[in-house]
Amino acid sequence: MEKRRPRIVILGGGFAGGYVARHLFDRDIHFDAEVIIVDRNNYFVFYPLLVEAGTGSLEPRHCTVPIREFAKDSDLLMGEVKSIDSASNKISLTLCGDDHVRELEYDHLVVALGSVTRVLPESVCSGVTEHAFDVKYMSDAIAIRDRAVELLELANATDDEEERRRLLHFIIVGGNVTGIEVVGELEVFVRSATSMYPNIRSEDCQFTVIELAPKILPILPDNLIRWASKTLANRGITLWTGKSVKEVHADHVITSDDEKVPCSTVIWTAGIAPNPILKEFPDLPLNTHGGVDCEPTYRVKGHDNIWALGDCAGVPGPDGKPMPPLAQIAIRQAKQVANNIAAAHRGEPLTDGDVSVLGILVPLGRHKGVMNFKGIKIEGFMAWAMWRAVYLSKMPGFGRKLRVLFDWIVNFFSRRDYVQLGMNPDATREFKRSQ
Ligand X SMILES: Cc1cc2nc3c(=O)[nH]c(=O)nc-3n(C[C@H](O)[C@H](O)[C@H](O)COP(=O)(O)OP(=O)(O)OC[C@H]3O[C@@H](n4cnc5c(N)ncnc54)[C@H](O)[C@@H]3O)c2cc1C
Instruction: Report the SS3 class of residue 25.
Output: coil
Query: Using the rule CB under 6 A, is 136 a contact of ligand X?
Result: yes
Beta bridge partners of 380: 369
What is the contact mask toward ligand X in residues 235 to 274, using x (rule: CB under 6 A)?
A: ----------------------------------------
Query: Given the complex with ligand X, which of 31 and 133 has the nearer CB atom?
Result: 133
Instruction: Provide the sign of the torsion angle of the four alpha carbons 270, 275, 277, 280, taken in this order.
Output: negative
Contact segment (CB under 6 A) with ligand X among 32-40, 250-258, 292-300, 347-355 equals 32-40
Query: Using the rule CB under 6 A, is 395 a contact of ligand X?
Result: no
Q: Which of 20, 53, 84, 113 binds ligand X (CB under 6 A)?
A: 113
Contact segment (CB under 6 A) with ligand X among 37-45, 164-172, 230-238, 370-378 equals 37-45
**Cβ-proximal residue to ligand X, closest one:** 14
Instruction: Provide the sign of the torsion angle of the four alpha carbons 363, 368, 370, 371, taken in this order.
Output: positive
Contact segment (CB under 6 A) with ligand X among 1-9, 34-42, 191-199, 399-407 equals 34-42
Q: Which of 8, 20, 58, 135 binds ligand X (CB under 6 A)?
A: 135
Residues composing the chain: 435
Q: Which of 10, 65, 112, 171 binds ligand X (CB under 6 A)?
A: 112
Query: Using the rule CB under 6 A, is 386 a contact of ligand X?
Result: no
Q: Which of 6, 56, 114, 175 binds ligand X (CB under 6 A)?
A: 114
Residue in 353, 329, 303 with CA at minimum distance from that of residue 14: 329
Residue in 328, 319, 331 with CA at minimum distance from that of residue 358: 328
State the nearest-atom distance from the C-beta of 159 to ligand X, in Å: 37
Contact segment (CB under 6 A) with ligand X among 125-133, 217-225, 323-331, 339-347 equals 323-331
Query: Using the rule CB under 6 A, is 277 a contact of ligand X?
Result: yes
Helices vs. strands in the chain: H and E counts, helices first = 11, 24
Spatial strand order in the sheet of 108-111 = 101-105, 90-95, 75-85, 34-39, 7-11, 108-111, 306-308
Query: Using the rule CB under 6 A, is 74 a contact of ligand X?
Result: no
Query: Using the rule CB under 6 A, is 17 a contact of ligand X?
Result: yes
Query: Using the rule CB under 6 A, is 353 a contact of ligand X?
Result: no
Helix (H) or strand (E) holding 104: strand 101-105
- Whole-angstrom Cα distance, residue 44 to residue 63? 9
C-alpha triplet 24, 27, 33: angle, nearest 5°: 40
Within residues 166-195, the interface with ligand X by CB under 6 A covers 178
Query: Using the rule CB under 6 A, is 311 a contact of ligand X?
Result: yes
- Whole-angstrom Cα distance, residue 290 to residue 391? 29
Query: Using the rule CB under 6 A, is 54 a contact of ligand X?
Result: no
Amino acid at 149: V
Query: Given the DSSP bridges, would you call strands 101-105 and 108-111 parallel, antiparallel or unpaired?
Result: unpaired
State the nearest-atom distance from the C-beta of 112 to ligand X, in Å: 5
Query: Given the complex with ligand X, which of 15 and 207 has the nearer CB atom?
Result: 15
Query: Using the rule CB under 6 A, is 15 a contact of ligand X?
Result: yes
Amino acid at 392: L
Beta bridge partners of 126: 247
- Whole-angstrom Cα distance, residue 143 to residue 424? 6
Query: Given the DSSP bridges, would you call strands 206-211 and 376-380 parallel, antiparallel or unpaired?
Result: unpaired
CA 177 to chain centroid, in Å, comes to: 11
Q: Which of 39, 52, 146, 211 binds ligand X (CB under 6 A)?
A: 39
State the nearest-atom distance from the C-beta of 349 to ligand X, in Å: 26
Query: Using the rule CB under 6 A, is 81 a contact of ligand X?
Result: yes
List residues binding ligand X (CB under 6 A).
Answer: 12-17, 38-41, 44, 47-48, 50-51, 80-81, 112-114, 135-136, 178, 275, 277, 310-312, 325-328, 330
